[in-house]
């Protein structure tokens, strides 16, 4: 026992040394597994006919109502945890004011408002689904997009996280986004504002920053970044618009980077693959590299040995 004991003692000293990192004195935080559970529940509320326990429509109303009650209670609890943390944190950038309203009641109100907005949000998702179906000939069924397109999944979770972010809920929406990032390779900050009919094809490596603004019917390919230019002082740039704006009907091909809070890509413009863009572009513009010269070097006849 001696051996393990000394290891544990020095670990405990390490915790004491860095008590803030271990969060041992502070208010608790939502756990990853709870956020995962909540997000799974919300996803299955959006598309109940596509969830794990398929059943005939008898009793569907009760299954849905039950799942919604559970999701509602989960969300109240996780919002309350998030609020309490943000009202008591030290050394943080976004300390919330305590209010006279008890945290639980605030959380109830925020959760209620979230669920009130869900039906409208589903109407928007329908436009996204249509955009995906029209944008990809490999999509044979609408349901296939819901079940197996990471871009659509990341977007559905983003739209939910964004409702919470807009309402001022701390921490929780960011954790939901990271859940989506983890599952899809697509990293959309919950602060990003995204219009209808949005489609991300393939999607791995896409990054959409916190203050991005995206119009309707925009399409992105894998590896696109909507990012910030260099940031001198993180504390003073919090809340400042640091990421670009894409107007309606813009298409951005894979690997392109659009950077800067004042950069606006005008409506209907097309940005070519791998383009690095740090200034605005007028509507109806196609931006491509002047095709960089390729060097073709014949490697000679393959050696017979290779055969």
Return the residues of window 77-96 that contact a copy of itself according to CB under 8 A.
85-86, 89, 91-94
To which residue do tokens 């690095």 refer? 276
Of 33 and 304, which CB lies nearer to a copy of itself in the complex structure? 33
Tell me if residue 41 falls in helix, strand or coil. helix
Cα 23–chain centre separation: 25
272, 289 Cβ separation under 8 angstroms = yes
| Interaction of residue 51 with a copy of itself, rule CB under 8 A | yes
Closest distance of CB 29 from a copy of itself, Å: 5
> 71 with 45: CB under 8 angstroms?
yes
Number of alpha carbons in the 13 Å side-chain half-sphere of residue 25: 10
What is the secondary structure of 65-76 as a DSSP string?
HHHHHHHHHHHH
SS3 219: strand
- End-to-end CA separation in angstroms for the chain: 64
Give the position of tokens 């609020």.
83
Query: What DSSP character marks residue 279?
Result: S
Could you say whether residue 302 binds a copy of itself (CB under 8 A)?
yes
Among 88, 101, 105, 147, binds a copy of itself (CB under 8 A): 147
Which parts of 18-37 interact with a copy of itself (CB under 8 A)?
18, 20-26, 28-34
- Comparison of 10 and 304: residue with beta carbon closer to a copy of itself: 10
Residue 119 binds to a copy of itself (criterion: CB under 8 A): yes
Segment (H or E) for 270: strand 270-271
Half-sphere exposure of 58 (CA within 13 A, CB side): 1
Q: Does 269 bind a copy of itself (CB under 8 A)?
A: yes
Q: Report the site for a copy of itself in 200-229 (rule: CB under 8 A).
A: 202, 204-205, 207, 209-210, 222-223, 225, 227
| Residue 7 or 99 having the CB closest to a copy of itself | 7
Is 4 a residue that touches a copy of itself (CB under 8 A)? yes
Among 97, 138, 304, 305, binds a copy of itself (CB under 8 A): 138
Instruction: Check binding of 72 to a copy of itself (CB under 8 A).
Output: yes
Rank residues 100 and 232 by Cβ distance to a copy of itself and give the closer one: 232
The Cα–Cα gap between 160 and 180 comes to 11
Per CB under 8 A, 305 contacts a copy of itself: no
Q: How far is the CB of 108 from a copy of itself (least distance, A)?
A: 9
Asked if 97 touches a copy of itself (CB under 8 A), the answer is no
């Amino acid at each position: 026992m001696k051996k393990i004991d000394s290891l544990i003692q020095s670990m405990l000293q390490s915790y004491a040394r860095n008590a803030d990192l271990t969060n041992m004195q502070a208010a608790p935080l939502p756990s990853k597994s709870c956020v995962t559970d909540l997000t799974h529940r919300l996803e299955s509320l959006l598309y109940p006919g596509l969830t794990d326990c398929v059943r005939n429509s008898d009793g569907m109303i009760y299954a849905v109502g039950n799942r919604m009650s559970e999701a509602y209670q989960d969300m109240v609890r996780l919002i309350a945890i998030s609020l309490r943390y943000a009202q008591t944190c030290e050394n943080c950038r976004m300390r919330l004011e305590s209010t006279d309203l008890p945290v639980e009641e605030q959380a109830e109100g925020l959760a209620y408002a979230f669920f009130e907005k869900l039906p409208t949000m589903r109407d928007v998702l329908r436009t996204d689904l249509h955009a995906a179906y029209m944008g990809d000939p490999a999509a044979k069924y609408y349901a296939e997009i819901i079940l197996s397109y990471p871009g659509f999944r990341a977007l559905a979770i983003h739209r939910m996280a964004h409702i919470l972010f807009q309402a001022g809920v701390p921490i929780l929406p960011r954790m939901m986004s990271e859940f989506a990032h983890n599952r899809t390779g697509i990293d959309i900050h919950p602060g990003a504002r995204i219009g209808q009919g949005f489609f991300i094809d393939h999607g791995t490596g896409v990054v959409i920053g916190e203050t991005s603004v995206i119009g309707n019917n925009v399409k992105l390919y894998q590896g696109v970044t909507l990012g910030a230019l260099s940031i001198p002082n993180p504390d003073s740039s919090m809340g400042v618009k640091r990421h670009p704006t894409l107007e309606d009907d813009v298409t951005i091909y894979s690997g392109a980077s659009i950077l800067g809070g004042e950069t606006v890509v005008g409506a209907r413009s097309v940005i070519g693959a791998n383009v690095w863009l740090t200034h605005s572009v007028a509507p109806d513009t196609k931006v491509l590299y002047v095709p960089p010269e390729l060097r073709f070097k014949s490697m000679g006849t393959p050696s017979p040995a290779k055969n």
